[in-house]
Amino acid sequence: MEHNYRVKLRWLIFVATVLRCIFALLIELGTDETYYYTYALQLDWNHFEHPPLLGLLVRFFTLNLNWVNDFSMRLGPIFLASVNTWLIAKIATSLINARAGLIAAIIFTTSIFASIISGILILPDSIANTFWLAALYFMLQILKDPTSANTNYFLLLGLSIGLACLSKVHAVFLWFGFLAYIVFHQRVLLRRKALYLGLAISLICILPILYWNYQHDFITWKFHSERVSILESGLRLDFFFQTFFGQIFYNNPLLVYLYAVMLLQLYKHRGQITSLSRHVVLLLLYCGLPIILMTSGLSLFRQTLPHWSGPGFFSLMLLTALWMEKRLELNSIPRCRKILNTLLSFTLGIMILAVLLIRYYPGNLTGRSEGIKLGREDVTLDMWGWKDFQVQFASIRQQAIERGEMSADAPIVVHNWFPGGHLLYYVARPLGMELLAEGELQDIHKFAWLNGMQKPVAVGGDAYFIAPSNVYEAPKALYGELFREVRLCKVLEQKRGNQVVRQWYVYELKGAKKVVGRGWF
């Protein structure tokens, strides 16, 4: 019987991986994904917003940027999603049995955050999740015999959390959770020297982040502190409800309902799941609930993103899987099987619906603005239309070169990291053009460093400025004082379902009055 569950687990991972690959091939990269391409383009000890491992992940799966396309860019997250499915199954299996492992894998696969958002899209979470789950595994191995646990588990725990922090710094919550559990429930672990060695390993891992920020006046800290500051605004219920319902959707509403039922049962039974150690339950809650509560609490004052709390739900996934496995022994097999199949169907339906909306929805899905701001707030436009635009722009550029109006080495100038990422990845890169950023650091982000890799626009030089209508900014207001002339060259249209959903305004910036696009650092 154990073998049958392992076989089903392999099939689940295989089928889910194939579906993720198909999804990755059918839609273009989103705003964040194209921006994170810059992490691979210019490797560093740290980046403006996040640590360095995501750039290395992209480099590895694109064969050091020698095989760059939408699929290869997403191959790392897809591969790691399969690893994560196996990891969470491994954890549940080690706690109870292979059947619990299969249930945990199904729950993980049906989470929109775990399976789609970070399981397909290029995000720091894509790699951080792997080390987060590995850390949970080593914590639970230590918990089996706290007084004589293998020293290697402590060292591997420290390495896992350290590497998770090198992917996304919120992984430090794992140490907070583990140490809080130790102080309140397992003080005997404070006598283990290996615990402090694990902490030291994590500290060594994050030294590159500290060193880079020391060199750059700790701008990463300043950037994130501005995002989470609660002193500059009053109570914002609109932000709270955005985050609250966003977390429910990202983690699958049906799953969230199961989590609520499971937590209620834990409360009624004082944190006990039949034969499972109460200490396991407490540890998982310590490692999961704090980041969920912090994200929700911050949203009362500042705008937060629902996926910030995503890894915290891994603990709830495990507890729900263990609780459901015990329910199966109470003649609930048909009901539990129906629940799991419904979860899988729901997530598959979301994937299919997303592809259909992005590629074929007739008109703008949301934010039906008119005129120069056509398509504003239509998030589906982030993942469709850029390849077609590149073909149209290439034709316009070639004609301008042949007429002698623009030089072949005229770069694209951007004022913001979005749509800067899309213009770099889908336009400048395939056409062999340079892309320079001219703006404030809080707007251009990583492009401030990329400027140093390229030649700036010299005095008297020309450049292109491209303004998509969904994020339109007037170039004269931005660069009117930097160039002698700002001339509208062409307005291109993007159609979907035979309706115009976005326009691209292509401008020629003529005669730079001073050097434009200097490197910041």
| pLDDT, tens only, 302-319 | 889 999 999 999 999 999
pLDDT score, position 226: 67
Structure tokens that stand for 109 in this block: 């696969």
The DSSP call for residue 432 is T
Q: What count of Cα atoms within 13 Å lies in the side-chain half-sphere of residue 441?
A: 12
The DSSP call for residue 273 is B
CB 489 within 8 A of CB 400: yes
Q: Rounded to whole angstroms, how far apart are CA atoms 111 and 94?
A: 22
Residue span(s) of the chain under CATH 3.40.50 come to 371-512
CB 509 within 8 A of CB 464: yes
User: What is the chain's mean pLDDT, rounded?
Assistant: 94
CB 466 within 8 A of CB 393: yes
pLDDT in tens, 420-449: 999 999 999 999 999 999 999 999 999 999
SS3 435: strand
Report pTM: 0.95
Q: Which CA distances in Å does 446 have to 43, 81, 153?
A: 11, 27, 37
pLDDT level of residue 208 (50, 70, 90 thresholds): very high
User: For the chain, what percent of residues have pLDDT higher than 70?
Assistant: 97
Residues linked to residue 465 through DSSP beta bridges, in sequence order: 507
Please report which residue ranges of 191-312 form alpha helices under DSSP H.
193-205, 207-215, 219-228, 237-250, 253-268, 278-298
In degrees and rounded to multiples of 5, residue 447 shows phi and psi of -65, -20
Q: Rounded to whole angstroms, how far apart are CA atoms 503 and 495?
A: 9
Whether the predicted pLDDT of 231 surpasses 80: no
The DSSP call for residue 206 is T
Structure tokens that stand for 66 in this block: 């020698």
Q: Rounded to whole angstroms, how far apart are CA atoms 149 and 151?
A: 6
CB 45 within 8 A of CB 206: no
Residues linked to residue 503 through DSSP beta bridges, in sequence order: 493
Lowest mean pLDDT across 209-213, 228-232, 237-241, 325-329: 228-232
Short-list 438, 469, 470, 464, CA closest to 451? 438
Q: Which CA distances in Å does 178 have to 159, 186, 195, 203, 469?
A: 14, 10, 11, 16, 48
CB 81 within 8 A of CB 194: no
Q: Rounded to whole angstroms, how far apart are CA atoms 83 and 205?
A: 22
Q: Rounded to whole angstroms, how far apart are CA atoms 410 and 400?
A: 11
The gap from C-alpha 253 to its chain's centroid, in whole angstroms, comes to 20
Handedness of CA 406, 410, 413, 418 (dihedral sign): positive
SS3 495: strand
pLDDT in tens, 340-370: 999 999 999 999 999 999 999 999 998 877 8
Domain 371-512 has CATH 3.40.50: yes
CB 372 within 8 A of CB 467: no
pLDDT in tens, 446-477: 999 999 999 999 999 999 999 999 999 999 99
SS3 319: helix
Neighbours of 87 (CB within 10 A): 23
User: For the chain, what percent of residues have pLDDT higher than 90?
Assistant: 87
326: Cβ–Cβ under 8 A, 6 or more apart, which residues?
A: 273, 274, 275, 276
